[in-house]
Amino acid sequence: MCNEEETETPAVSWVELWPEMAGLLAAVVIPLILLLFDLAERRPDLFHRSGTVALFIVAVLQFKGLSDLNRKHVNNAVRAKTGKKIQNISVERTHLSWFTLLVATYAAAISAFGDKFVHALIMVLYP
């Protein structure tokens, strides 16, 4: 087991995480755009389906994140074998993981209850 002196936490710029951030932004924005289409047509059809699309985007991002962590694990094994310090997970990557969890919960809620939400909005906006 490694102690504090044998590990280091890398500094990762948010710019390096732009593909993940763009994917999460798409997972949030796509349902909102389709919500506007549903409200314009006054029928709950597209919004709850967009939750599934957002969940798919989040799943792809999670697989990419797992691939990156697996690569880090292998690189850390090489570092440990050569006597170098191993690297922890960066703070930015940890924050991105939590944000991904929030977006996944958002997308799952849309997928499960989006049609009821749109129906309620239609009843309120167009009595």
* pLDDT in single tens digits along all 127 residues of the chain: 556 567 888 888 888 889 999 999 999 999 999 999 999 999 988 999 999 999 999 999 999 999 999 999 999 899 889 988 888 888 899 999 999 999 999 999 999 999 999 999 999 998 8
Q: What is the pLDDT of residue 83?
A: 87
Q: What is the pLDDT of residue 2?
A: 59
Cα separations in angstroms, 103 against 39, 64, 66, 81: 22, 16, 17, 38
Q: Rounded to the nearest 10 degrees, how much is the dihedral formed by the CA atoms of 115, 118, 122, 124? A: 120
Q: What is the pLDDT of residue 12?
A: 82
1: which 2 tokens? 């087991």
Beta partners for residue 86, in sequence order: 7
Site of tokens 């191993």: 86
Q: What is the pLDDT of residue 4?
A: 57
pTM, rounded to two decimals? 0.86
- C-alpha–C-alpha distance, residues 98 and 79, integer Å: 27
Coil/strand/helix, residue 56: helix
Domain ranges of the chain: 16-125
Q: Are 65 and 100 spatial neighbours (Cβ–Cβ below 8 Å)?
A: yes
